[in-house]
Amino acid sequence: MALMITEDCTVCDACIEPCPNEAITAGEEIFVIDALRCSECIGTDEEPQCIEVCPSDCIIPNPDFEESEDELQEKYEMIHG
Ligand code: SF4
Ligand code: SF4
């Protein structure tokens, strides 16, 4: 399941650099996660790195992108293949 950022985002910029998939960008008002690039950090880390650094607790599962761990691993490998 990819993650998404809610409107509680304060645009603090902390989450862009830790993302291993370059999935996070600055949107018009808040930061945005590209669901097609978010592997929930499967492939590199035990925990989602964006959630680890976010001071606003505004990163949540994206209900439109339900994926298994295997699918997330495949997504990671597609991005970095
Ligand atoms: Fe990037 Fe990992 Fe956050 Fe997904 S969970 S947006 S891959 S840091
Ligand atoms: Fe927004 Fe959290 Fe990313 Fe900061 S770390 S830009 S509050 S999503």
Start-end of H helices in the chain: 49-53, 69-80
Residue nearest to ligand 2 atom 1, measured at CA:
9
Q: What is the pLDDT of residue 69?
A: 96
Residues with CB under 6 A from ligand 2: 5, 9-15, 31, 53-54, 56, 58-59
Q: How far is the CA of 77 from the centre of ligand 1 (A)?
A: 14
Rounded mean pLDDT, 60-75:
97
- pLDDT for 3-54, tens place per residue? 999 999 999 999 999 999 999 999 999 999 999 999 999 999 999 999 999 9
Show the tokens assigned to 80.
Answer: 């970095």
Q: Which residue has the higher pLDDT, 17 or 81?
A: 17
Indicate whether 1 pLDDT > 90: no
Q: Are 27 and 73 spatial neighbours (Cβ–Cβ below 8 Å)?
A: no
Pocket lining: 33 vs ligand 1, CB cutoff 6 Å: yes
Helix (H, G, I), strand (E, B) or coil at 36: coil
Q: What is the pLDDT of residue 71?
A: 97
Instruction: List the one residue out of 5, 62, 27 whose CA is nearest residue 72.
Output: 62
